[in-house]
Chains A and B, each alone.
Chain A
Amino acid sequence: MNQADQLEQVRAALDTVTDPEIDESVTTLEFVSSVKVSDDNDVSIEFRLPTYWCAPNFAFLMASDMRDAVAELSWVNSVSVRLLDHFSAEMISRSVALKQEFRDAFPGETDDDLKLIRQKFLGKAFERRQELLMRHLLGTGQKSEEITELRMGELMEFSLDPEGARLRTLYRFAWRRLRPGWDDGKLAFVALDGTPLDPTKLSGYLRKLAGVRRNAEFNAVICRSLLAERKAELSTVAC
């Protein structure tokens, strides 16, 4: 495989890693500032967050997810992930390299690992994606009582326009990650705790989920503005 193909595969792997808070890929958010592959198939990735102050636990999650996603490529010999310009950059880069748990990276600062945080934000991603897909389906004329009865397998057979299909893919991804044991015979749309939805209360339910989506957008807006300024600043310094 030539280097261009390798870089493309690394990029594609990084596309699957999301900022848990914003629920968007680290590549579309432009966090990844450089990717290199050596002749010995060692991959080195550098990334930068919008501020020196971004929460280190999210930074750690993204860094270890990037490492794992790239390490899955069969030809990869080693992966290094470096966080730049962050107050805990050294600790995070080092412990990601050592494959430590978060609590080992910050000894004495935290008493649980990041599984619960990951779970919490996966739940938010699930709700956000679910709301968008349900609104889309309602917009195409589906009835509330049909949507709440729908099985995942049936949903997958729907013929949707490209936007609908995109939302469905995103949602299904979160649905499966949240409930790894579920098959396509299960209800497609359930509350976060797994209970079925009441079709007569669907609009109130969607109203609540809208807050989750808007919060994520809020963070994305702030994040993008800060990142743009930070980049402008860095390029001025470089000149």
Chain B
Amino acid sequence: MFTTKSGDKVFVIDSHIALWDGSPANQRNRHGEEFINCFYNYHKISPKEYYWPREKFERYDEADLMKDVFEDGYVDMAIFQPAYLGEFYKDGFGNLKRNWALRQKHPDRLIANGWWDPRNGEMGLVQLEKDAEMYKLKGVKLYTADWHGNSKGYKLSDPWAQRYLEKSVEVGIKNIHVHKGPTILPLNRDAFDVADVDDAASSFPDLNFIVEHVGLPRLDDFCWIATQEPNVYAGLAVASALIHTRRRYFAEIMTELLYWLGSDRILFGSDYAIWHPRWIIEQFMDLELSEDLASEANNTLSLEVKRKIMAENCARLYGIDIAQQSARLGLPAIAEPVGVA
């Protein structure tokens, strides 16, 4: 729970965290090494006092996560978004069993999302049913650029992806978190846009599509799609980390999102352990839109808007009652937003 300078309590749900193993022991090949290298370079846009040594970054443990995210990081609840990456890591980069084990120890704190890959065919559909039951899945993280045999990526409009989306509805999954970077291959021109999210969102109006990293590197295309589809949401992970080195620029991104999507469809995420949620949340809660940006956004980053982004929007998607959850976690009650006197 974050407390503002004026004493307001803000409940925080971090919609994007991980407990990964990128260590050399788990790396399958050079790709595994390069993948964690790339993350480590992203990590370096943190404030210096938050830098981790490489070994810790490659593999940290449950205690690190609990301390960083919940004790030091102001976060009240968090959602695991696992990236399996089976072609790069022997036991997966993100691992559902490991996530679930920690979730079982802290069921009021953690939600463990699953994942699926349409290229696993019929067997994967059976696995999805099992996972949904065993892990009580309400959401999945899809990594469309993941490699699989000769394939270097897939699209949500692929026929098999459609079957997995149907199955998701059937087993009670509501939230599809899509990491929609450009797939590396196939290299057709449509691998570059986020149009497949558009297709999927129209075909499955009962599912919510949270486009992680706000569609990076296609923010403009993403905003355009989000205006067409009411069930498309913006996940702030990665974008939020720019707040430290590029504060004004991050404010411009928020301007775009507020203008195109409004304040009800933006979800906070830190992408822990690439970045520690503490500094991101401190700086975000401190951020205001300058006059020019506020007029362009047709909105402001008021406390009410921040409450939505930090928790309320995500709570709605995951059926979390913030008041009940606060009581369960022994947190002080959150006052209703004070109206203008």
Contact = CB atoms under 8 A, between A and B. Distances in A.
Interface of A: 21, 51-53, 55-57, 87, 102, 106, 109-112, 116-117, 120, 124, 207, 210-212, 214-215, 217-219, 221-222, 225-226, 229-230, 233
Given A207-B259, A218-B253, A230-B41, 11 more contacts: A57-B187, A109-B152, A109-B185, A109-B187, A117-B189, A211-B219, A215-B218, A217-B249, A218-B219, A218-B242, A222-B242
Interface in B26-44: 31, 34-35, 37-38, 40-42, 44
Main SS at interface, chain A: helix
B253 A110 contact: no
Given A211-B219, A215-B217, A52 B187 contact: no
B44 to A, nearest CB: 5
Interface residues of B, number: 38
Contact of A214 (B31, B185, B189, B253): B253
B184 interface: yes
B192 A117 contact: yes
Nearest to B259: A207
B264 interface: no
Interface of B: 31, 34-35, 37-38, 40-42, 44-45, 152, 182, 184-189, 192, 216-221, 223-224, 239, 242, 245-246, 249, 252-253, 256, 259-260, 296
Contact of A221 (B31, B185, B218, B242): B242
Given A214-B252, A233-B41, A102 B187 contact: yes
Contacts of A117: 189, 192
B38 A52 contact: yes
Main SS at interface, chain B: helix
With a 10 A CB-CB cut-off, give which of A56, A109, A116 has the most chain B CB atoms: A109
Contacts of B189: 112, 116-117, 120
B295 to A, nearest CB: 11
Nearest to B189: A116
